[in-house]
Chains A and B, each alone.
Chain A
């Protein structure tokens, strides 16, 4: 047998005194780590298959299991970390591009954690959200540069189409295909109940979910899977996906094995065909082409829906966003390099793009310098992890945030980063019916609603502390932020002062 140099990352620790050989772990593990040895009457483990998703740990009725990081390690080398060595072995085995899932796990700077929020003391009363109104309603869409009046001198109150959010958070794009039917249903129902929006991603919209259309953003990506007139008409807004934070500059690939049944029908491609989204939109090679697509979609939907253009945060993002703002887009969505994915080439996920914080700061500042910030709304994603991140993003200049990883965590994701294998034991990133049914949409949507409700409370507490009782007074209010452990250049780009200043 060929030696593959693949060593288990994790160790399955089974407390034999507690194990009752009920074989739940065996049935629950799609990776087939656990097995029963009838000769000895004991449970066995094949640790090389374990991804540390904690499914067996969670369901073990006697708490007999734990998964720990293996202490079997290669000789330490500061220049050659273990992960890199193992990747070399994998590529030497496969000859292929390495795939990864979810966001960049490497220790690159998280600027959110170096930004601190202000609070009122003495000169300005803080506001208690339990006793006073605290407003988090946000409108996304184009605003007129000049108000107009009718003959009777009344205001002409017709606005371009807007999205109205009860709180400045939306569920980011995750396609049906990359995540399960039940995951989609959970997101759709939660968005509906919360007065926010979820996003179909690039895989079309399952016919069962058309009824949540009022809270749905339908995406048009480079593969145009599942895009047709009814689909465009079904959503509250249309998002043109130009890029994704986890994989700027490349398209997507859903293997033919996953293109079965409903997914094939929803994507409008034959069963078993690979769904390959090209790297660029082949009808968009420049900004003037984007303008054409924006207006094509507006024409197709009779100018009734705002158009979002989503791009990955890359080096020249401020100028790119300026161009998008002038292309007719109503909303710009920017996805930072820590954003998640169902599958991306590891090298690209871990090395391409820039963090969302400086990207957001630069874009907001540029649009203001050009005097067009009020004509476009700005939505940011790419690892918004908590209510504090949301508040910091709004204060830097965002109108709203996109979250996806946090939403999946609420559904039970344990961030094992193995979505690309399609064997998600939590029923999220899989299409295997036996796994999908593990995620109950009743419970999933409830958990999402509770998470967002909790965040909303926290956002209101943080706002009240600053003496701000409406979210729009926080937007772009960078005086409410201070940096710690940031150098002059970083502070300059973020447009904030250092703590103590």
Chain B
């Protein structure tokens, strides 16, 4: 069970500080003060709440995306302590703060429903020969980039980590509680053969707190179900993921590929890696992310990577085309439930690569399209092709700064925005290719890395495993 504070908005009556409509003897506090004293929140999130004053704080059970059990508890906060009237007691940490708007009765979420601009660090390593590495290496990469994240999110994706189940889908889920888990398991059992269900092993790490229930399911869609709904396997799995993430309160699928898995949490990436015991997994490709959300509390579901099927995305940037991209991609069955930039990027990739069957190069030419001035100078064949892609998928052009690493079965693709507004460097050594926001991270993984270069904006760096190595 998770706790949540809901702050009730009241009107400021201009009678001077301390006198507010709806307040009697209670001392109201600016919401900014609450957020500030809650330590976890680096900034007051948004302009709308910065001038909001509250007289009442509600407690509610945090059950996923809905807020059905609001209970007024007459608690106000000051001096870094939650205190009820008459008696003082320590208040449990809250998972999210919502603002309750009296006039409309709406509750405004501060995280999960609003777009989150963020800074960040990315890193990746892949062995072209398909040699497996423990997660230790990629954790090492994140250490010199510590200051690129702020402790509000870190995560990893590992490929080739479940070889014994390579033909099965590995679902990783966050649950708020066992009720949510049981509901979700029921849904899984109806459509899948569940060959394994277990808690994902974690290690006690002081800096990682408030962990939800984290489960792993190794599953295979039931053939009878596939035939009934007449969908191919991947589409079937995609719909299950979308269904759980949009309709199941308190449950979030954050990994759903074959022989791969995402691991993410609120915390610094090196702590997150230790927490998930990544040193005990072995994969041929790892990607990593450290998050620096600029104005939000940060939560587990909001950490990177964002995944769908085998695709995983770690992303550093802010997408200025976000709503254009989101409103386009949502036409095709995707639902941006988290409303972070990166989520939409994952769906765009799935749409272009799986649904439209574009090649990686073509997909890169859609989201980081060459400028018209460049296209117009190309030979006829290239110009025709790029013009076609830009015209047809105009709404999937991604503008604003980004560096992303897309992981998929058998390879990865690193890509910068077409103006190269975010740093990203690539290096190699023997069979390994390294990608990171900073060279320091590459050197941390491989001090003798060679051929280090910064790919140009919009120039995809595609690394594939050698034939037969996977």
Residues of A bordering B, CB below 8 Å: 120, 122-125, 127, 132-133, 135, 137, 139, 143-144, 146-147, 149, 154-155, 157, 159, 162, 368, 371, 373-374, 397, 466-470, 472-480, 488, 500-501
Cβ of B397 under 8 Å from chain A: yes
Contact A472 B394 (CB under 8 A): yes
Contact A368 B327 (CB under 8 A): yes
Per-position 1/0 for B341-381, Cβ under 8 A of A: 00000000000000011100010000001011100000000
- State the Cβ distance, A363 to closest chain B Cβ, in Å: 13
Q: With contacts A147-B357, A149-B357, A472-B324 known, is A157 near B384, CB below 8 A?
A: yes
Given contacts A374-B331, A476-B324, A477-B323, 7 further A-B contacts (CB under 8 A): A127-B419, A135-B371, A147-B392, A472-B397, A474-B321, A476-B395, A479-B322
Contact B119 A473 (CB under 8 A): no
- State the Cβ distance, B232 to closest chain A Cβ, in Å: 15
Interface-side segment among B133-141, B170-178, B192-200, B398-406: B398-406
Residues of chain B lying within 8 A (CB to CB) of residue A159: 388, 391-392
Of residues 269 through 328 on chain B, the ones whose CB sits less than 8 Å from some CB of chain A are 294, 317-318, 320-325, 327-328
Q: With contacts A157-B384, A368-B330 known, is A479 near B358, CB below 8 A?
A: no
Instruction: Kindly state the separation between the CA atoms of A149 and B395 in the bound complex, as whole angstroms.
Output: 21
Residues of chain A lying within 8 A (CB to CB) of residue B318: 123-124, 467
Of residues 36 through 65 on chain B, the ones whose CB sits less than 8 Å from some CB of chain A are 46-48
Residues of chain B lying within 8 A (CB to CB) of residue A500: 47-48
Cβ of B385 under 8 Å from chain A: yes
Contact A469 B419 (CB under 8 A): yes
- 21 pairs of residues in contact across A and B, judged by CB atoms under 8 Å: A124-B117, A139-B391, A143-B392, A147-B356, A157-B387, A159-B388, A368-B330, A373-B328, A374-B328, A467-B318, A467-B320, A469-B419, A470-B369, A472-B324, A472-B390, A472-B394, A473-B397, A473-B399, A476-B324, A479-B323, A480-B320
A473 nearest in chain B by CB position? B321
Residues of chain B lying within 8 A (CB to CB) of residue A143: 391-392
Complex A-B, nearest 4 residue pairs according to Cβ-Cβ distance, in ascending order: A473-B321, A472-B394, A467-B320, A479-B323
Contact A368 B48 (CB under 8 A): no
Residues of chain A lying within 8 A (CB to CB) of residue B418: 469
A480 nearest in chain B by CB position? B323
Cβ of B186 under 8 Å from chain A: no
Instruction: Kindly state the separation between the CA atoms of A379 and B356 in the bound complex, as whole angstroms.
Output: 27
Cβ of B2 under 8 Å from chain A: no
Contact A478 B331 (CB under 8 A): no
Instruction: Kindly state the separation between the CA atoms of A482 and B44 in the bound complex, as whole angstroms.
Output: 20
Instruction: Kindly state the separation between the CA atoms of A132 and B357 in the bound complex, as whole angstroms.
Output: 32
Residues of B bordering A, CB below 8 Å: 46-48, 104, 108, 115, 117-119, 294, 317-318, 320-325, 327-328, 330-332, 356-358, 362, 369, 371-373, 384-385, 387-392, 394-395, 397-401, 418-419, 421
Residues of chain A lying within 8 A (CB to CB) of residue B400: 124, 467-468
Instruction: Kindly state the separation between the CA atoms of A494 and B57 in the bound complex, as whole angstroms.
Output: 33
Contact B328 A123 (CB under 8 A): no
Instruction: Kindly state the separation between the CA atoms of A470 and B115 in the bound complex, as whole angstroms.
Output: 21
Instruction: Kindly state the separation between the CA atoms of A500 and B362 in the bound complex, as whole angstroms.
Output: 39
A-B contacts counted at CB < 8 A amount to: 118
- State the Cβ distance, A464 to closest chain B Cβ, in Å: 10
Residue of A133, A476, A477, A488 contacting most chain B CB atoms (<10 Å)? A477
Residues of chain B lying within 8 A (CB to CB) of residue A124: 117, 317-318, 320, 400-401
Selected contact of B324 from candidates A154, A155, A477, CB within 8 Å: A477
Residues of chain A lying within 8 A (CB to CB) of residue B317: 124
- State the Cβ distance, A330 to closest chain B Cβ, in Å: 13
Selected contact of A374 from candidates B357, B388, B395, B401, CB within 8 Å: B395
Selected contact of A475 from candidates B372, B385, B395, CB within 8 Å: B395
Looking at chain A's contact residues, the main secondary structure is loop
Selected contact of A122 from candidates B294, B324, B421, CB within 8 Å: B294
Residues of chain A lying within 8 A (CB to CB) of residue B390: 472
Q: With contacts A124-B320, A127-B419, A468-B320 known, is A473 near B398, CB below 8 A?
A: yes
B50 nearest in chain A by CB position? A500
Residues of chain B lying within 8 A (CB to CB) of residue A132: 419
Instruction: Kindly state the separation between the CA atoms of A373 and B332 in the bound complex, as whole angstroms.
Output: 11
Residue of A143, A373, A470 contacting most chain B CB atoms (<10 Å)? A470
A135 nearest in chain B by CB position? B372
- State the Cβ distance, B99 to closest chain A Cβ, in Å: 11
Residue of B387, B388, B389 contacting most chain A CB atoms (<10 Å)? B388
Instruction: Kindly state the separation between the CA atoms of A52 and B299 in the bound complex, as whole angstroms.
Output: 64
Contact B385 A147 (CB under 8 A): no
Selected contact of A474 from candidates B119, B324, B372, B419, CB within 8 Å: B324
- State the Cβ distance, B333 to closest chain A Cβ, in Å: 9
Instruction: Kindly state the separation between the CA atoms of A143 and B392 in the bound complex, as whole angstroms.
Output: 5
Residues of chain A lying within 8 A (CB to CB) of residue B358: 147
Contact B320 A133 (CB under 8 A): no
Contact A155 B362 (CB under 8 A): yes
Instruction: Kindly state the separation between the CA atoms of A476 and B396 in the bound complex, as whole angstroms.
Output: 12
Q: With contacts A125-B421, A368-B331, A467-B400 known, is A478 near B323, CB below 8 A?
A: yes
- State the Cβ distance, B306 to closest chain A Cβ, in Å: 18
- State the Cβ distance, A182 to closest chain B Cβ, in Å: 34
Instruction: Kindly state the separation between the CA atoms of A466 and B318 in the bound complex, as whole angstroms.
Output: 11
A368 nearest in chain B by CB position? B331
Residues of chain A lying within 8 A (CB to CB) of residue B119: 123
- State the Cβ distance, B241 to closest chain A Cβ, in Å: 20
B339 nearest in chain A by CB position? A479
Residues of chain A lying within 8 A (CB to CB) of residue B324: 472-477
Contact B48 A466 (CB under 8 A): no
A478 nearest in chain B by CB position? B323
Contact B331 A373 (CB under 8 A): yes
Residues of chain A lying within 8 A (CB to CB) of residue B48: 500-501
- State the Cβ distance, A470 to closest chain B Cβ, in Å: 6
- State the Cβ distance, B148 to closest chain A Cβ, in Å: 13
A154 nearest in chain B by CB position? B385
Contact A157 B419 (CB under 8 A): no
B373 nearest in chain A by CB position? A133
Residues of chain B lying within 8 A (CB to CB) of residue A146: 356
- State the Cβ distance, B254 to closest chain A Cβ, in Å: 24
A499 nearest in chain B by CB position? B47
- State the Cβ distance, B450 to closest chain A Cβ, in Å: 32
Instruction: Kindly state the separation between the CA atoms of A470 and B372 in the bound complex, as whole angstroms.
Output: 10
Contact B372 A157 (CB under 8 A): no
Q: With contacts A155-B385, A501-B48 known, is A125 near B401, CB below 8 A?
A: yes
Contact B399 A123 (CB under 8 A): no
Q: With contacts A143-B391, A143-B392 known, is A476 near B328, CB below 8 A?
A: yes
Residues of chain B lying within 8 A (CB to CB) of residue A469: 399, 418-419
Selected contact of B327 from candidates A123, A147, A478, CB within 8 Å: A478
Q: With contacts A123-B119, A135-B371 known, is A467 near B357, CB below 8 A?
A: no
Residues of chain A lying within 8 A (CB to CB) of residue B369: 470
Instruction: Kindly state the separation between the CA atoms of A472 and B401 in the bound complex, as whole angstroms.
Output: 16
Instruction: Kindly state the separation between the CA atoms of A477 and B391 in the bound complex, as whole angstroms.
Output: 17
B388 nearest in chain A by CB position? A157
Instruction: Kindly state the separation between the CA atoms of A436 and B391 in the bound complex, as whole angstroms.
Output: 41
Instruction: Kindly state the separation between the CA atoms of A488 and B101 in the bound complex, as whole angstroms.
Output: 13
Residues of chain B lying within 8 A (CB to CB) of residue A139: 391, 394
Instruction: Kindly state the separation between the CA atoms of A144 and B390 in the bound complex, as whole angstroms.
Output: 12
- State the Cβ distance, A331 to closest chain B Cβ, in Å: 14
B402 nearest in chain A by CB position? A124
Instruction: Kindly state the separation between the CA atoms of A104 and B322 in the bound complex, as whole angstroms.
Output: 36
Contact A120 B47 (CB under 8 A): no
Contact A479 B421 (CB under 8 A): no
- State the Cβ distance, B355 to closest chain A Cβ, in Å: 8
Residues of chain A lying within 8 A (CB to CB) of residue B395: 374, 472, 475-476
- State the Cβ distance, A142 to closest chain B Cβ, in Å: 10
Instruction: Kindly state the separation between the CA atoms of A162 and B356 in the bound complex, as whole angstroms.
Output: 21
Residues of chain A lying within 8 A (CB to CB) of residue B399: 467-470, 473
Residues of chain B lying within 8 A (CB to CB) of residue A371: 331-332
Residues of chain A lying within 8 A (CB to CB) of residue B397: 470, 472-473
B358 nearest in chain A by CB position? A147
Contact B104 A488 (CB under 8 A): yes
